[in-house]
Chains A and B, each alone.
Chain A
Amino acid sequence: KAGVTQTPRYLIKTRGQQVTLSCSPISGHRSVSWYQQTPGQGLQFLFEYFSETQRNKGNFPGRFSGRQFSNSRSEMNVSTLELGDSALYLCASSRIRLAGGADTQYFGPGTRLTVL
């Protein structure tokens, strides 16, 4: 079974631009979560999508948004890029969404975004 795939792997943008990152989950997985990883802040949760609906959101500004399609593929968008948005963006997929806990998350290789 193929793992989580993310495209593109590397991206260079300038301040003020916007960017869209894509994530394809493991086949059969319906939950997709996004994380931002930086040396200073570590791994931080952005949001989670399940059945095309955002179910959970971390503490990030509204410039960060996402969506999920009917095939569970997900995209995240960052508008009006800032230098501080430079990071590794990781996508993770889970098979289900547990009412009382968390299902195992499987991570993709990430998209390295550099903002100049």
Chain B
Amino acid sequence: AQSVTQPDIHITVSEGASLELRCNYSYGATPYLFWYVQSPGQGLQLLLKYFSGDTLVQGIKGFEAEFKRSQSSFNLRKPSVHWSDAAEYFCAVGKTGNQFYFGTGTSLTVIP
């Protein structure tokens, strides 16, 4: 069965510190992987995606993610967090037919 695990429910970091959000997936075929961000009361905004090729992908807002097939992971990173990055982050696996499986999300708090 397909599934996505985000082990960290909530993370707190200081502004300017680095960030890594973990994501592990279980999927039988080649995974189509995505990271989305959601601010309160809003929809989901795409940060980045991985389909194939270079395993380190760059996204918007200074985010990047690395696909590691051997670890079934797709962790999201940012070298220096800004207060505006506080939000909920979702990792997703896209299945044939545009059916997405989402993780439970990681809530990020940024301390000034």
- Which residues of A are at the interface with B, using a C-beta cutoff of 8 A? 4, 31, 33, 35, 42-43, 45, 48, 50, 55-56, 58, 90, 92, 94, 97-110, 112
Contact = CB atoms under 8 A, between A and B. Distances in A.
B43 A110 contact: yes
Contacts, number: 74
B102 A43 contact: yes
Contact of A31 (B29, B32, B95, B98): B98
Contacts of B97: 48, 55-56, 97, 102
Contacts of A98: 96, 98
B11 interface: no
A108 B43 CA distance: 6
A1 to B, nearest CB: 14
Interface of B: 29-30, 32, 34, 36, 41-46, 49, 51, 90, 94-105
Contacts of B94: 101-103, 105
A101 B100 CA distance: 10
A48 B96 contact: no
A10 to B, nearest CB: 10
B5 to A, nearest CB: 12
A57 to B, nearest CB: 9
B45 A56 contact: no
Contacts of A106: 46
A105 B98 contact: yes
B44 A42 contact: no
A45 B93 CA distance: 12
A87 B5 CA distance: 22
Contact of A107 (B45, B51, B104, B105): B45
A105 B51 CA distance: 13
Contact of B100 (A55, A105, A110): A105
A42 B43 contact: no
